[in-house]
Chain A
């Protein structure tokens, strides 16, 4: 693991998963200017939904994503209609009310999970959980490979939706300028509901995939939420390629630090907090802003 190939392979694999987590946040932020703190709770719920499908019906965790995704989409739309849409709309910057409201949603979800599944640590053990194969000379766990494939497929799906359909164009239009989109006849409220559903579905799918890699409790998801924040802040909040770049930077830093330094593994989660903090303070516009600034500085 100490060679550059190992770090690179592992970084790319984690980056794909990170990007899936972060896109859910980014879509909701882009369309509604809301920071969805409930994302952590939704990821946790995705993990438990996958777990329940696995233990009750013996459904393979990766096949169950096909159920979890649409289910969470519907859940997200309902959540938007019932709760989020009742808030006064955020202006150019996210409002404190929306943050606190979704924080409440997170708490409710988390403690609902404590009630249903208790606080015991759970994990999903399949026939291939312990298997590994060699990729470019690096041993990689089979679940990690499936997670990579699942992440890439969901990202491709999202990209096709955003680029090729009316819905995607409408989502991008509302993201760019809500008022202009309204003037052009886009039903911004319905688009917001759909975007919230998409973001929720991505959280559920990401949570389902996380459940095949890590053990989880109802408290699961907070450190991943911070990772996702870190990525969308790095990626410049709205840009699609930016999120991918942010995910790569974070994954590379985490893997590199654990491979090349003697930093204890418990500090690995602190990497994303530190990066988040440094980014927010030093270059709040994220990587695109940093590059723009560097370009003007060296002209």
Chain B
């Protein structure tokens, strides 16, 4: 089973990477958005899903990656070389935020992260080197869609792979222990702060990488786009709706969201109110299936199997 899914994943990866040769630009754009969504959802899931620390401030890291890339490119650096610098800065910032914020538990942590996200957005639109609220434009000639597309797809595959590795490692076990019962984990010798900081830094770095690629693709960023609260909440909703704390769940959530997004944004009446559907989805998930779409699929699937065996 595992070997089969690995083979299927590998052939899918090869197909997506070779896609620019035979697919048209519109479809490639959709795949790009899907890869972007997969990265954000899977990266958030490392801290929010595995360790149960729900953060609503992830647009901060996306923005740090995007702004680092644009600012360094304006200084003459190759945009793709700036990626690791943005990731490093985001990881450092996640430590600065995490050190005080991880003293808070559960919902209090979540509220503090709303504050962090808002504060970063306010700062980015008020200081001068970020171009204020009018934003920044990438230098001309830095656009190369195929390169950006390949980078995004590779990053998406790597993110899912890293998430799977983390989940199975001792690190992942520690995060799971923290999620279940932080006091019990501490009593067993898990240094919860250190593990939470590690998971935060890892996911922040990955989200910043995606943010850099976002800036290169759209060529223009502003606090209203990369530090948008709606972005932070989409990042949270995808893994929760898909199936929080699993590997396939965030991917599934990203798939649902990016398909919905394209469909909903094409209806003019829903242009501003498409998040309504997400809110409704979130309510339904929290009330009826806290394990998300993945949990629902599993339930249906096992019921089918059970009926099948009962009949046989």
Contact = CB atoms under 8 A, between A and B. Distances in A.
A66 interface: no
A115 B269 contact: yes
Interface stretch (A253-261, A267-275, A287-295): A267-275
Given A107-B233, A226-B118, A269-B118, A264 B126 contact: yes
Nearest to B278: A107
B279 A104 contact: yes
Contacts of B112: 276-277, 280-281
Interface stretch (A56-64, A86-94, A135-143, A244-252): A86-94
Contacts, number: 124
Nearest to B100: A281
Contacts of A264: 126
Nearest to B127: A264
Nearest to A29: B107
Interface in A1-42: 35
A107 B229 CA distance: 12
A239 to B, nearest CB: 18
Interface in A50-102: 83, 86-87, 93-97, 99-101
Contact of B276 (A103, A112, A277): A112
A104 B280 contact: yes
Given A222-B229, A264-B126, A101 B290 contact: no
Interface string B10-51: 000000000000000000000000000000000000000000
A97 B118 contact: no
A269 B125 CA distance: 13
Contacts of B169: none
B273 interface: yes
Size bracket, chain A contacts: 35 or more
Contacts of B290: 97
Nearest to B282: A104
Given A264-B126, A277-B100, A97 B283 contact: no
B54 interface: yes
Interface string B271-296: 01111101111110011001000000
Contact of A107 (B52, B100, B105, B275): B275
A204 B274 CA distance: 24
A196 to B, nearest CB: 16
A266 B126 contact: yes
Contact of A276 (B52, B103, B115): B115
A93 B105 contact: yes
Contact of A99 (B107, B272, B274): B107
Contacts of B116: 273, 277
Among B125, B126, B240, the one with the most A-chain Cβ atoms within 10 Å of its Cβ is B126
Given A270-B123, A281-B104, A96 B52 contact: yes
A106 interface: yes
A284 interface: yes
B157 to A, nearest CB: 29
A157 interface: no
A70 B275 CA distance: 28
B119 interface: yes
B125 A266 contact: yes
B106 interface: yes
B287 A111 contact: no
A75 B123 CA distance: 37
A112 B274 CA distance: 10
Contact of B115 (A83, A110, A267, A277): A277
B122 A269 contact: yes
B218 interface: no
A223 B118 contact: yes
Given A266-B122, A270-B119, A273-B115, A105 B229 contact: no
A267 B101 CA distance: 21
Interface string B197-236: 0000000000000000000000000000000010001000
Given A83-B287, A115-B270, A226-B115, 17 more contacts: A93-B106, A95-B107, A96-B107, A99-B107, A99-B110, A101-B283, A103-B279, A111-B273, A111-B276, A114-B272, A114-B273, A223-B118, A229-B111, A264-B126, A270-B123, A273-B119, A284-B104
29 contacts: A87-B286, A93-B106, A94-B106, A94-B107, A96-B106, A99-B107, A100-B54, A100-B240, A100-B286, A103-B233, A104-B281, A104-B282, A104-B286, A107-B233, A107-B275, A108-B279, A108-B283, A111-B275, A111-B279, A222-B229, A226-B118, A267-B122, A270-B122, A270-B123, A272-B115, A276-B112, A280-B112, A281-B103, A284-B104
The 4 A-B pairs of least Cβ separation, nearest first, read A107-B279, A104-B282, A111-B276, A273-B115
